[in-house]
Structure 1
Amino acid sequence: MARHSLEVIREHIDSMPLIDHHVHSCLAEKPSYERLEKLICESAGPLGEGQSRFDSQAGFSLLRHCSPLLFGSRCRIDEYVKLREHMPEAEIDARMLGNAGVSDWIIDPGWGGKELISLDEFSHRSQGRVRRLLRLESLAETVLASTAEAGGFPETFRSELAVQSVGCVGFKSICAYRCGFDIDWQAPSDTDVADAVMAMDATARSHVQNPIITSFIIHEAMRYELPIQFHVGIGDRDVDLRHSNPLDLRSLLIEAERRRVPIALLHCWPFERECGYLCQNFTNVYMDVGLTMYLTGIQAVDSLRRAMELCPFSRLLYSSDAWGLPELHYLGAVVFREALCSLLCTWVESDSWLPDDALRVADMIASGNASRLYGLSTQDM
Structure 2
Amino acid sequence: MTPVLPGPVRAALAAPLVDHHCQGVRRDDLVRAQFETLITRAGHPAPPGTTHFDTPEGVAIRRWCAPVLGLEPHAPAAVYLARRAELGAAEVNRTLLRAAGVVAFLVDTGTEASPDLLSVAETGRLGGAASDEIVRLERVEQDVAEEGLSAPAYLDRLRGEVAARASRAVGLSTVIGYRCGLDVDPVRPARGAVLAAAGRRAAEPKKPLTDPVLLRHLLWTGVDVARERAMPLQIPCGHSGVDPGVLHRSDPTALVPFIRALGPLGVPVILLHCSPYERAAAFLAATFPHVHVDVHDGFAEVLGLAPFHKIMFGSGGWGVAETVYLGALRHRTVLARELAARIDAGDWSSGDAERVAGMIGSGNARRIYRL
CA distance 1:70–1:359, change in 2 (3 Å): same
Per the alignment, residue 96 of structure 2 pairs with 96
Aligned to 2:179: 178
1-structure distance, mates of 2:337, 2:4 = 13
Partner of 2:190: 189
Q: Would you tell me which structure has more helix in proportion to its own residues?
A: 1
Deviations 1:72-111 (A, max 9, x none): 4211222111221211111111110111110010011220
Q: TM-score, normalised by structure 1?
A: 0.90
Aligned residues: 363
Q: State how 1:1-381 maps to structure 2 within 5 Å.
A: 6-8=5-7, 11-74=10-73, 75-114=75-114, 115-200=116-201, 202-203=203-204, 206-223=207-224, 224-225=226-227, 226-236=231-241, 238=243, 240=246, 242-290=248-296, 300=297, 303-376=298-371
- 1:307 offset after TM fit, Å? 2.1
Which is worse superposed, 328-337 or 239-248?
239-248
1:335-379 CA distance string (max 9 Å, x none): 110000011001101111111100000000000110110011xxx
CA shift for structure 1 position 5: 7.3
Q: Give the alignment's Cα RMSD to 1 decimal.
A: 2.0
> What SS does structure 2 have at the residue aligned with 1:140?
helix
- Cα drift, residue 43 of structure 1: 1.4
**Cα distance change, pair 68–7 in 1 and its aligned pair in 2 (3 A):** farther
CA shift, 1:236, in A, is 4.0
The question of whether the paired residues in 2 share the 8 Å contact of 1:144 and 1:206 is answered with no
User: Displacement, 1:112?
Assistant: 3.4
Could you list the runs of 5+ residues in structure 2 that have no partner in the other structure?
Answer: none
How far is the alpha carbon of 1:164 from its aligned partner?
1.7
Contact 2:137 2:219 in 1 (8 A): yes
| Range moving further from structure 2, 165-174 or 153-162 | 153-162
Cα shift at 1:32: 1.5
* Matched letter for residue 27 of structure 1: R
Alpha-carbon distance in structure 2 between the residues aligned to 1:4 and 1:59? 25
In 1: Cα distance, 2:7 partner to 2:55 partner: 32
Asked if the contact 2:269–2:290 (Cα under 8 Å) also holds between the matched residues in 1, the reply is yes
Judge conservation of contact 2:177–2:250 (CA < 8 Å) in 1: yes
Q: Which runs of 4+ in 1 moved over 4 A?
A: 239-242
* Deviation sequence 1:154-184 (CA, Å, 0-9, x none): 2221122222211211101011221111232
Deviation at 1:327, TM superposition (A): 0.8
Amino acid at match of 2:50: Q
> Deviations 1:164-208 (Å, cap 9, x if unpaired)?
211211101011221111232211122221111123354366311
Tell me which residue corresponds to 1:297: none
CA distance in 1, matches of 2:28, 2:67: 23
CA distance in 2, matches of 1:4, 1:107: 32
Structure 1 unaligned runs (5+)?
291-299, 377-381
- Contact 1:39/1:324 (<8 A) preserved: yes
Structure 2 CA distance for aligned equivalents of residues 314 and 247 of structure 1 = 20
Could you tell me how far apart the structure 2 residues matched to 1:345 and 1:183 are? Answer: 40
Give the share of equivalent positions with the same residue, in percent. Answer: 28
**What amino acid is aligned across from residue 90 of structure 1 in structure 2?**
A
1:168 alignment partner, SS class: coil
